[in-house]
Structure 1
Amino acid sequence: METPSAGKRSIELLEELGLPKGLLPLEDIEEFGYNREDGFMWLVQRKKVDHTFKRRSSKPCRIAARSWLFAEKGKLKNITGVKTKEMFLWLSVVEVYVPEASPEKVTFKTGTGLSDSFDAIAFALGE
């Protein structure tokens, strides 16, 4: 069963960091934690989640049952447990950021060095 405040706390943190509130489609969150001193964040869900953002593209993303990362203003980095599908391959997403100069864009960077930017509205809560 989802911890009642875990989903709400994760959304509040994304908003505080200047990131779209629907950036992480989180279902059945069992645990969420954030260490403000070093920015370490972790998420534990009941199972992995495959999700396609309707307004982004047909590229699916996969969030593992256990994910962790470091968060700072406008950026999630050193991400573990999040992948996106490019062609026939699942690539690890290692960084997500909203550039200060273009706050209407969200950029995803993979471990291979590939990156792609999308309109932030595609990651509004409920998308």
Structure 2
Amino acid sequence: MSQLIASHRENAEVYTDPVVCKQKSLELLKEINMPNGLLPLEDIVEVGRNAETGFVWLKQKKAKEHKYKKIGKLVWYDTEVTAFVENRRMKKLTGVKSKEILIWVTISDISISDPECKKINFATPTGLSRSFPASAFEEEEEEEKK
């Protein structure tokens, strides 16, 4: 367990049942008004949330790559993903990288600044950012049902 998680574990809600973990990860995204396919993690073994600090963590059995088909982007999720969350924002994000041409770029901030324009912004620690349609991050099975 990372030191960051250990420092926020006290007073946090922690879940370790895989079914509950998946449910809690989706509830979190809904609560902060983010697309439900933003964290397509598998085999989640722990979800924790410290309501006082806004810190959340998700642990999965193994790292995962996921391709967002609508925008052709490959994203890598580590075994541990952490962030401080608030409405329409995940900041100080760890454990998420996006493939840009030939290199993996760390994503440190995800936000939706204007819910009307339906764009989601991804920023790196260096301040570079890109925007995509938020709909590209909806769970694909749900999109297929429509």
TM-score past 0.5 threshold: yes
User: What does residue 26 of structure 2 align with?
Assistant: 11
User: What does residue 69 of structure 1 align with?
Assistant: 83
Deviations 1:94-118 (A, max 9, x none): 0000113545111101123221111
Q: Please list every run of 5 or more consecutive structure 1 residues that lacks an aligned counterpart in the other structure.
A: none
Q: Tell me the amino acid that sits aligned with residue 35 of structure 1.
A: N
Deviations 1:21-54 (A, max 9, x none): 1111111100011111111000110000001111
Q: State the secondary structure of the residue aligned to 1:78.
A: strand
Q: CA deviation at 1:59?
A: 2.1
User: What does residue 119 of structure 1 align with?
Assistant: 133
Q: Please list every run of 5 or more consecutive structure 2 residues that lacks an aligned counterpart in the other structure.
A: 1-15, 142-146
Structure 1 runs (4+) greater than 6 angstroms displaced: none
Higher helix share: 2
User: What does residue 20 of structure 1 align with?
Assistant: 35
Q: State the secondary structure of the residue aligned to 1:20.
A: coil
Q: State the secondary structure of the residue aligned to 1:23.
A: coil
Q: Tell me the amino acid that sits aligned with residue 36 of structure 2.
A: K
Q: Is the CA contact (8 Å cut-off) linking 1:91 and 1:111 kept in structure 2? A: no
Give TM-score, length-normalised by structure 1: 0.92
Deviations 1:58-105 (A, max 9, x none): 221100001211111110000111000111111100000011354511
Give me the CA root mean square deviation.
Answer: 1.6
**1:32-71 map, 5 Å:** 32-55=47-70, 57-71=71-85
Higher strand share: 1
**1:87-106 map, 5 Å:** 87-100=101-114, 102-106=116-120
Q: Which has the higher contact order (CA 8 A, sep 6+)?
A: 1
